[in-house]
């Protein structure tokens, strides 16, 4: 009897300790980023171009480069994801092809980001001969976040009760009319949520874009589709490799904080959008 009680209390304390440990990791990571980052951030840092390979100057071109890339990523992936979700929900009826579509989407979701990077390097940069280009980076990022958007849009299209579809069909609407007036608005809500979450992930990715879309320094705002840009995550990479230089390291923390703020901004707005649509 007594040993049962002892085991129980040991267990409870072990569980409590693991939680405290995880909470400690969380506090340590965010504390470090905020503490180290805020020392580096100033108005000049956010608005001046990079000097001396990142050890001096600011990161304005990295910020604009990252934003430009994810904006394009959003424009590319949104319509494709919406269409895929509607097709999966409304046109695929037999379980076997539904299963196949799911497997496809989940496998795409599982592909490691570095694989997208080398795929882009071979297919776009070498075979199609685009060279290092921000636009190619956007295409690759769009491929990467596609499953997130598709799943989110699919869930909301699929959550429309069948009775809506049946009533609309009974009114004599064509199938596409039903989709465009009843299902599409719902699907768009889901796709927006997925898009914000996907973008929060895409903006922090380094591996897919480092060979194909970015140059480390001396890059201005691009004027054509086929130019490299600088981006926040690849900038952190190049600064991290000069970690022995304290000035470079400090700017790496500053860049990290800007990046984390952007990620948190996109993911919380995704969360808020989801909550708002759920209430409706």
Structure token pair of residue 279: 């209430």
Cβ closest to other proteins, residue 18 vs residue 38: 18
In whole angstroms, the minimum distance from the beta carbon of 262 to other proteins comes to: 10
In whole angstroms, the minimum distance from the beta carbon of 40 to other proteins comes to: 12
In whole angstroms, the minimum distance from the beta carbon of 145 to other proteins comes to: 12
In whole angstroms, the minimum distance from the beta carbon of 16 to other proteins comes to: 6
β-pair partners for 224: none
Cβ closest to other proteins, residue 68 vs residue 200: 200
Q: What is the DSSP secondary-structure string of 162-229? A: HHHHHHHHHTT--HHHHIIIIIHHHHHHHHHHHHHHHHHHHTT--TTTTTTTB-SSS----SSTTS-B
In whole angstroms, the minimum distance from the beta carbon of 240 to other proteins comes to: 5
Cβ closest to other proteins, residue 216 vs residue 222: 216
Cβ closest to other proteins, residue 112 vs residue 185: 112
Cβ closest to other proteins, residue 203 vs residue 223: 203
Cite the beta strand spans of the chain per DSSP E.
Answer: 50-51, 56-57
Numbers of helices and strands, H then E, in the chain = 11, 2
Specify whether the CB–CB gap between 117 and 209 falls below 8 A.
yes
């Amino acid at each position: 009897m007594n040993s049962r009680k002892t085991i129980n209390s040991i267990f409870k304390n072990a569980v409590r300790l693991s939680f405290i440990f995880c909470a400690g990791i969380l506090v340590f990571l965010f504390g470090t980023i905020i503490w180290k980052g805020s020392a580096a951030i100033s108005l000049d840092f956010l608005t001046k171009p990079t000097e001396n390979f990142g050890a001096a100057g600011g990161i304005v071109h990295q910020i604009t480069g990252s934003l430009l890339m994810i904006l394009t990523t959003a424009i590319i992936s949104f319509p494709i994801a919406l269409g895929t979700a509607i097709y999966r929900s409304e046109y695929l009826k037999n379980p076997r092809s539904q299963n196949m579509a799911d497997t496809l989407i989940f496998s795409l979701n599982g592909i490691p980001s570095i694989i997208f990077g080398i795929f882009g390097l071979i297919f776009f940069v070498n075979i199609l001969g685009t060279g290092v280009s921000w636009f190619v980076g956007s295409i690759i990022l769009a491929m990467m976040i596609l499953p997130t958007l598709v799943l989110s849009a699919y869930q909301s299209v699929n959550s429309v009760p069948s009775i809506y579809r049946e009533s609309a069909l009974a009114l004599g609407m064509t199938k596409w009319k039903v989709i465009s007036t009843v299902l599409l608005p719902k699907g768009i809500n889901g796709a927006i949520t997925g898009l914000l979450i996907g973008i929060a992930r895409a903006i922090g990715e380094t591996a897919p874009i480092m060979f194909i879309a970015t140059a480390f320094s001396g890059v201005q705002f691009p004027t054509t589709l086929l130019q490299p840009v600088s981006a926040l995550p690849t900038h952190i990479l190049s600064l991290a490799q000069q970690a022995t230089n304290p000035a470079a390291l400090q700017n790496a923390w500053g860049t990290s904080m800007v990046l984390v703020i952007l990620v948190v901004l996109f993911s919380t707005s995704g969360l808020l959008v989801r909550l708002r649509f759920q209430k409706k």
